[in-house]
């Protein structure tokens, strides 16, 4: 089995096209990982997810440790077998979900104690336990346990939070079991403070990880601030490793982040939008519940290869959502994920051709219009 690695294939400015080598197959980058929080991309079979062009998916430590339990998944052969996904899987360590628990949690140097949102049971999650759970799940890429700093936050509090995460990152590194083709990623924190982001990036680099994520963004700070923090962070990350922006985002966010040296993305937006009737198309976003689609016999996006666009009209999709038929969210989720995968392919092609700046300009106005 080959070692985990990142190969740079082409660049255009700071934008990079590359390839990950993993224990569960290669991943062409830039790449978007569909979110399968509870070991399922909602409404999609593994085969359907693969047909969108996705090569790697994300699952979540917090949710899977509570239900069905990491030990049970391990007993059943690991997450790849459990969810019938043979490609690489990255598991979020649970830090973001713990942040969202607010008053239900208690953070100490040791870790986080919280109440399960399922049954109220008291649970303690430490860096060591988070890494152990991800090992039991057989995650291809394990994430260090961190505190996702909330927004807004003072610089003093952001510094304390970031430095706690750096100490936890060292403990996560020590707990990780090295295996060929598997990886552990560090997570840069520091909120919206450039000096803290640089300090965090350097601290993680000194420990040494297989890849580096930028966390604590897309939590309300806005696109301009997010881009500024990427510009303050990515230059301090090792060039020979993958760079991952967690929880992002809209197509314009992805294009802008690639322009600043990011390789990997995940976000619930395309799947959540698919369930609520919003479609991403090359002509902008569309709300399939709007009456204007009721008698439109044309496809959602004439250039799209997904099942919704190949076999159905806008009028039919509109009908499905108005009738609350489950096929509507399924078809629109497949469409949105296909759109995102095609976007990543187009980005990679543009980087290789040296025309990435043109793609950036082409996508900038798309996000400006409201869903129609």
* Catalytically annotated residues: 92, 266
Pair of tokens at residue 53: 């062009």
Burial of 323 (0-12, 13-18, 19+ CB in 10 A): exposed
Tell me how crowded residue 322 is: count the other CB atoms within 10 A of its CB: 15
CA–CA separation, 105 vs 116, rounded Å? 10
Residue among 83, 61, 88, 86 nearest 6 (CA): 88
Ordered DSSP codes for 89-128: EEEE-SHHHHHTTGGGEEE-SS-EEEE-TTT--EEEE-HH
Residue among 279, 243, 276 nearest 262 (CA): 243
CA–CA separation, 188 vs 30, rounded Å? 19
Q: Which residues contact 200 (CB under 8 A, 6 or more apart)?
A: 162, 165, 166, 188, 189, 190, 233
Residue among 352, 369, 351 nearest 360 (CA): 351
Helix (H) / strand (E) containing 311? helix 307-311
Return left, alpha or beta for 17; rule: phi > 0 is left, psi -120 to 50 is alpha, else beta.
Answer: beta
């Amino acid at each position: 089995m080959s070692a985990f690695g990142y190969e740079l294939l082409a660049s255009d400015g700071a934008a990079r096209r590359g390839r990950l080598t993993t224990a569960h197959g290669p991943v062409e980058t830039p790449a978007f990982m569909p979110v399968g929080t509870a070991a399922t991309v909602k409404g999609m079979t593994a085969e359907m997810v693969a047909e969108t062009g996705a090569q790697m998916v994300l699952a979540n430590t917090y949710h899977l440790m509570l239900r069905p339990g990491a030990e049970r998944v391990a007993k059943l052969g690991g997450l790849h077998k459990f969810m019938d996904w043979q490609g690489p899987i990255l598991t979020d360590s649970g830090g973001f979900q713990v942040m969202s628990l607010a008053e239900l949690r208690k953070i100490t140097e040791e870790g986080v104690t919280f109440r399960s949102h399922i049954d109220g049971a008291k649970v303690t999650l430490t860096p060591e336990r988070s890494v152990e759970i991800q090992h039991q799940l057989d995650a291809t890429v394990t994430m260090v346990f961190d505190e996702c700093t909330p927004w807004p936050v003072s610089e003093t509090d952001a510094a304390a939070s970031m430095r706690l995460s750096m100490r936890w990152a060292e403990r996560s590194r020590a707990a990780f079991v090295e295996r060929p083709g598997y990886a552990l990623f560090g997570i840069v924190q520091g909120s919206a403070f450039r000096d803290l982001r640089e300090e965090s990036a350097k601290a993680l680099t000194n420990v040494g990880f297989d890849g580096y994520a930028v966390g604590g963004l897309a939590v309300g700070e806005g696109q301009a601030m997010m881009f500024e923090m990427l510009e303050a962070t990515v230059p301090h990350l090792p060039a020979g490793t993958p760079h991952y922006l967690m929880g992002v985002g809209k197509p314009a966010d992805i294009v802008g982040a690639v322009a600043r040296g990011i390789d990997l993305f995940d976000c619930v937006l395309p799947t959540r939008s698919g369930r609520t009737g919003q479609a991403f198309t090359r002509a902008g976003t569309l709300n399939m519940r709007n009456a204007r689609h009721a008698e439109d016999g044309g496809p959602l996006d004439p250039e799209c290869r997904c099942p919704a666009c190949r076999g159905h009209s806008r009028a039919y999709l509109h009908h499905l959502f108005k009738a609350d038929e489950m096929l509507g969210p399924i078809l629109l989720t497949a469409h949105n994920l296909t759109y995102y995968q095609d976007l990543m392919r187009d980005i990679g092609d543009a980087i290789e051709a040296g025309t990435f700046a043109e793609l950036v300009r082409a996508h900038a106005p798309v996000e400006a219009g409201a869903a129609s």
